[in-house]
Amino acid sequence: MLYFLHYLGLNIFHYISVRTIIAFFISFFLTLYLMPKFIKWAKNKATQPILEDVKKHQNKKNTPTMGGVVFIFSAIVATLLSAYPNLYIVLAIFVAIGFMIIGVIDDWQKVTKQNNKAGLTPKLKFILQWIFALTFATILYLIGFDTDFYIPFYKYPLFDMKYFAILFWAFVMVGMSNAVNLTDGLDGLATIPSVFAFMTLLLFSYLMGNKIFSNYLFLPYEEGIGEISIFASAMIGALLGFLWYNANPAQVFMGDSGSLSVGGSIGYLAIITKTEILLILIGFIFIIETLSVMLQVGSYKTRKKRIFLMAPIHHHFELKGWNENQVTIRFWIIALITNLIAILSIKIR
């Protein structure tokens, strides 16, 4: 909406950089305003059931959850107000909403039955994620989005994925959605690595949407992708607004409604910016958390032995004696370092 004000002579709103900053502040302050109202409602309607296996967290049992609904709503409002609504922006909004819907259904079943295992079955949740992801990936393919495959630190595409891109893109969205969901186990743990990821993807989208910058840096140029930096900025603002209330001790949890949507959105932005493989660095903490679960399950099924004291790996470190803040902040530091390396790949190509 703000974009169209430049037709009235307010040329400042023509610049993506200006609207990116505005989107951040809109989503941040809107989340700060709405979250206390949501917390007040959720205290009697939507409190988090805790797994009995995690005894250290039993004191969090009555904490409101589903905070993701609030900050995803704020990010979408900020995006709609600030961005030019091209196809990439519209699809970003639908990705965020689509994965959030799956999370809302799952969260609501858990809170109404007050049982952390009473939500959607893993199989049904996985099927729904793939249905949404394949739909979004197919739309990307049909609108003619570039299907070339890139790797970090190399300036040219390796090959054209053609229609196999649909499966690959869907895999990226589903994988990241589940990875963020697995990481969301401690107060603030998934939030700041998500902020770092969106910041890196914001930079990539801004540079790739500018013909001069993309040519200079040997990044693939795609007209209209620059607007995606506004969506990324809105997500950053919303997540920081959420962290205001999610910092230890948390007043609210994001729930699957937030984590699935955040992960799906990170995956979508990685696809748009051709950084799918670079997600290993951009989403390093999420990848490690996911691998820890896969290794733990695989080891137990094949050898009847556990590699970690408990998976995901943040619980392993808790059982090793790290307190919650130590685990969270150390994981934040690692996420910052790996994202800086990912940003470095822009120049080293």
Contact 342, 199 (CB under 8 A): no
Helix (H, G, I), strand (E, B) or coil at 218: coil
Single pTM value for the model: 0.94
Q: How many Cβ atoms are within 10 Å of 291's Cβ, its own excluded?
A: 15
Tokens representing residue 72 in the block: 């995803």
Query: What values do phi and psi take at 149, rounded to 5?
Result: -105, 125
C-alpha–C-alpha distance, residues 203 and 17, integer Å? 11
Q: What is the mean pLDDT of each run of 10 residues along the chain (349 residues)?
A: 66 86 97 94 73 57 87 96 93 97 90 73 92 96 94 90 96 96 90 97 95 91 93 97 92 93 97 96 95 90 87 88 91 97 90
What residue segments make up the domains of the chain, in order of their start? 2-344
